[in-house]
Chain A
Amino acid sequence: MPSADWRYRAGDNQKKGHAIKRLIFYINLLRAYLSNSIKSRLAYREDFLSGFVAGLMMQLIGVLFVFSLFVRVPHLMGWHREEIFFIFGFSQVSLGLFFTFFSNLLELSDKYIIEGNFDRILLRPLDSFFQLVTERIYWEESSTIIVGLSMMSYALSRLGLALGPAEYLSLAGLVLSACAIYLAIFTILVSLTFWFNDRGSVVSVMLMLEGFSRYPVTIYNRTVRLVLTFIIPYAFTAFFPSMLILGRESYRLYVWLTPAVAAVSLMAALAVWRAGTRAYQSTGS
């Protein structure tokens, strides 16, 4: 016998929610997702720990390599080695944030498109991008953030720079912008798999190219510099925003271009994503 509870039918109330109400809805949902993600990670503490430690080791090896390069070379093409460490650390923090919170994007091709799991995403009354990203958080990748932060603070102390609260805040904003640029670049790349059944080869090339962003772009030739600034804006994920602290007057403009580049590229990326989801063909099974 239908109780009163059942009289309400989903879809009856079809009025569009207020934008702010919708935002609060997503934030609450995000909280629930995060708490579930932490719970399920805690259920596999060992996996998390081994992943974290392995990541940390990899990072430390990379850092040791950079340090060893500069043991005898305090300067490189006009840059202090501590300045280079700072840029390197900055790139690790923003990349680490991207890997921790957005790595699931990189699974789009294999886990979602080829296996057809994207069906499930399209069946829920939620933004598809939000769902894909939140479906798995890679907490173990936070080792990259930690190593990056350590490098930045080491560099700051060696450079004898003390930052005020305003500078810390700006720095945080720039780090988030840099992370958003990584997010935009990889969103565009993975979206291509909606049209072309590519098993991640473009993405891995792009991950390799990411190495360029760890050093001052001035050490590269003109063409590479232009590409890194205007085409694949990796220069904005570490080098330009670092100039806020390393303060070279000629780069002032680029520092503040960073959030703008982030916003524009993210909007472009979401547009490509939307178009991609419409081209989704599912799989025959």
Chain B
Amino acid sequence: MPIIEAANLAKHFRTFRRRSGLWGSFKDLVNRKYETVRAVDGVSFAIEPGEMVGYIGANGAGKSTTIKMLTGILVPTSGRVAVRGLVPHRQRYQHVKQIGVVFGQRTQLWWDIAVIEALRLLQRIYEVPKADFEARLKKFEEVLGLGDLLNIPVRKLSLGQRMRCDLAASLLHNPPVLFLDEPTIGLDIAVKASVRDFIREINREYGTTVILTTHDLSDIERLCRRVIMIDRGRLIYDGELKSLKEQAVGARRLVVDFVLPVDRAGLQRALEGCPVELEGGGPFRWEISFRRGQANAPEIIGLLMSRLEVRDLELEEPRIEEVVREVYRRERAG
């Protein structure tokens, strides 16, 4: 039986454009021009216990809005949602006791008090038995390296430190379901890695079901077998990450810096016979996009190195916007 279910879930926001100036705000008062933003527009999925699912999409796709409905912050405009059989916004107390939530942009902890005090308050709020609290705290200290942070007020933590503390706080009551909204946003590589390791370990050891939103595909690669992708509020892919990557993620991009200026024609001559697209206007730096299967990186790099003087080059991971574009392209193609 699925642990999380969404059926035709939708959230529409009614907003109005604020006009500028004093006269503008007066006009706003009298006559507002409302628009409806369909942030989430009829999304359905089911997640089984113990799964770790990546919920991905470009900025503004509707990821956070979905998470806010699953966690009971927002009341859906229409559709159904249930987590372990509870309707989040109706059975709020019971529901939030069974979930852990981390928002990358915003801390869940009290601003003014030390981390350890915040954790102690959460222990009381979630009624975590003392022995469990101590055991978990010890574990978090080890795995997340919280030791030195415990006595610092939350407001003084760096982003990476704060994220580690937020993760610990969200798991203090050992919830069966964990929601992570952009948990690695703005973190440096080392912290990103430790956050990912920790999430994976929690999932493996305690069978915690995890939904993770991100617009950084490398998060998903390290953590999730299944991905759900949304775009402009609509679900456009739900399935294995592997097949998404194999079939859809064809677009790659190579960024090359040249020692001498190179014009478009010169570059095209150098890459004669390779089906590539040239972007980004030179003359020293060019972005070369190509599709897997039609061309490959070693071949292109070989041609460039033998015919032009290359200062530096970098093969970029596909960006989420490109993956979204790819999924659409594939759909149109049939």
What is A's interface to B at a CB cutoff of 8 Å?
A: 1-3, 5-6, 8-11, 14, 25, 28-29, 32-33, 36, 39-40, 43, 116-117, 119-120, 122-126, 135-136, 278, 280-282, 284-285
Contact = CB atoms under 8 A, between A and B. Distances in A.
B215 to A, nearest CB: 13
Contacts of A9: 98, 174-176
A2 B129 CA distance: 16
Contact of B39 (A2, A11, A126, A284): A284
B126 interface: yes
B173 interface: yes
Interface stretch (B70-78, B244-252, B272-280, B297-305): B70-78
Interface string B62-103: 001100100111110000000010000100111111110101
B8 interface: no
Q: For the complex, would chain A's binding face be called helix, strand, loop or mixed by DSSP majority? A: loop
Contacts of A119: 68, 73, 103, 106
B94 A40 contact: no
A124 B173 CA distance: 12
B325 interface: no
Q: Name the residue among A10, A40, A116, A120 with the largest chain B CB count within 10 angstroms.
A: A10
Given A10-B173, A11-B98, A125-B97, 17 more contacts: A1-B205, A5-B132, A8-B174, A10-B175, A40-B113, A119-B68, A120-B106, A120-B108, A122-B72, A122-B92, A124-B96, A126-B93, A136-B112, A278-B75, A281-B13, A284-B13, A285-B105
A5 B135 contact: yes
A10 B97 contact: yes
B110 interface: yes
Contacts of B264: none
B94 to A, nearest CB: 5
A14 to B, nearest CB: 5
A116 B106 contact: yes
B136 interface: yes
Nearest to B18: A197
20 contacts: A6-B135, A8-B174, A10-B97, A10-B98, A10-B174, A11-B98, A25-B127, A29-B124, A32-B121, A32-B124, A39-B113, A40-B113, A117-B106, A125-B93, A278-B75, A278-B89, A280-B73, A280-B74, A284-B64, A285-B105
A29 B124 CA distance: 7
**Contact residues on B (Cβ < 8 Å of other chain), bracket:** 35 or more
B284 interface: no
Interface string B113-124: 100010011001
A5 B136 contact: yes
A3 B206 CA distance: 10
A281 B127 CA distance: 29
Contacts of B89: 278
Contacts of A278: 75, 89
A178 to B, nearest CB: 30
A11 B108 contact: no
Interface string B129-166: 10110011000000000000000010000000000000
Interface of B: 13, 37, 39, 60, 64-65, 68, 71-75, 84, 89, 92-99, 101, 103, 105-108, 110, 112-113, 117, 120-121, 124-129, 131-132, 135-136, 153, 173-176, 205-206
Q: Name the residue among B71, B92, B205 with the largest chain A CB count within 10 angstroms.
A: B92
Given A10-B173, A125-B125, A135-B110, A281 B74 contact: yes
Contacts of B94: 11, 14, 125
Nearest to B72: A122
Contacts of A135: 110
A40 B112 contact: yes
B175 A36 contact: no
Q: Name the residue among A36, A125, A126, A278 with the largest chain B CB count within 10 angstroms.
A: A125
Contacts of B136: 5-6
B280 to A, nearest CB: 29
B175 A11 contact: yes
A127 to B, nearest CB: 9
A136 B112 CA distance: 9
Contact of A282 (B68, B132, B135): B68
A124 B206 contact: no
Contacts of B129: 5, 8
Contacts of A39: 113, 117
Nearest to B205: A2
B106 A29 contact: no
A164 to B, nearest CB: 41
B100 to A, nearest CB: 8
Contact of A126 (B60, B112, B125): B125
A1 B279 CA distance: 51
Nearest to A41: B112
Contacts of B125: 29, 124-126
Nearest to B131: A5
A10 B126 contact: yes
A129 to B, nearest CB: 13
